[in-house]
Amino acid sequence: MAGPQAEPWRWPSLDQFDQPSAGFTPADCLREKPEAEADAEDMERLLQESSQQARRIVAEAREQADRIRYDARSEALKETRGVLDARLREIVEEEQAAFAEARAHLLQQIEQTAAERLIEIEQDLTALVAMMAEKVIRQKVEADDGVVLDVVKATIEQAAGADRFVLQVAAPDEELVRRATAELLALADGAEQMEIVADEAIGRGGCIVETERGRFDARIESQIELLAEEIDRVTGEGEAA
């Protein structure tokens, strides 16, 4: 008994691919196009929004970076200003201390120089006064013999009470003094002896009286020295005051 016979294989018909699927119409293609365009618009909008947001983020980042740099710069300037102010104060204090030290040193030098100069001036003044006094006295002696006798009399009065007098006078004044011996003895308050001696070392107008009580120097040179000493004493007391 023969079995069932196999049917021959056939190529599928291409027409079946040309037939629309069940439920699909050409209008469906028209509806798909606007949805694609909408998707593209959404994509473009998203891209624009993303770009704007990116620009905004970049701008904010830049602004924040600028603010950070500004704050950092301000802080650095503040710290630098503080350091400079502190250093400036140190420099000012150092300069003030140096100025005070220099001023004190200068004042000390000025005072020392002034004191030395004052001593020189006083010495010059003393010498000048002594020279002028000596000049005036000698002129007075040359012009008036009475001045010579006044000097001798004043010296004898200082030595009054002695028994023996030796009067040493300038050679040009010897004769003048001898003529006044009686008057001089009376001033000597009862002296027993009075000797008059000419001495070339004594300038005119001066004298030296020697007694047992001591020696009395009335030379003009000695009187000028006493005057200079008195000036020094007075100026010295003025400085001390």
- Whether residues 190 and 234 fall in one domain: yes
Mean pLDDT is lowest, of 4-8, 91-95, 165-169, for: 4-8
Q: Higher confidence at residue 155 or residue 70?
A: 155
Sequence-distant (≥ 6) Cβ neighbours of residue 142 within 8 angstroms: 204
The residue among 90, 117, 143 that closes a domain is: 143
- Whether residues 36 and 139 fall in one domain: yes
What value does the mean pLDDT take over residues 201-220?
90
Mean pLDDT is lowest, of 44-53, 161-170, 179-188, 210-219, for: 44-53
215, part of any domain: yes
**Structure confidence at residue 17 (pLDDT):** 47
Q: Higher confidence at residue 114 or residue 35?
A: 114
- Whether residues 139 and 37 fall in one domain: yes
**Structure confidence at residue 192 (pLDDT):** 82
- Whether residues 117 and 41 fall in one domain: yes
Distance CA 210, CA 156 (A): 9
**Domain count across the chain:** 2
Sequence-distant (≥ 6) Cβ neighbours of residue 5 within 8 angstroms: none
**Structure confidence at residue 135 (pLDDT):** 75
Percent of the chain with pLDDT over 70: 80
- Whether residues 103 and 157 fall in one domain: no
- Whether residues 39 and 122 fall in one domain: yes
What value does the mean pLDDT take over residues 161-167?
90
160, part of any domain: yes
Distance CA 142, CA 123 (A): 28
The residue among 117, 143, 169 that closes a domain is: 143
Dihedral sign, CA of 82, 85, 86, 87?
positive
Residue range(s) defining the domain that contains residue 134: 32-143
Confidence class of residue 35 from pLDDT cuts 50, 70 and 90? low
pLDDT at 82 over 50: yes
Most confident of 55-64, 75-84, 215-224: 215-224
Distance CA 189, CA 156 (A): 9
7, part of any domain: no
**Structure confidence at residue 84 (pLDDT):** 82
What value does the mean pLDDT take over residues 132-145?
74
pLDDT at 130 over 90: no
Mean pLDDT is lowest, of 12-16, 155-159, 175-179, 194-198, for: 12-16
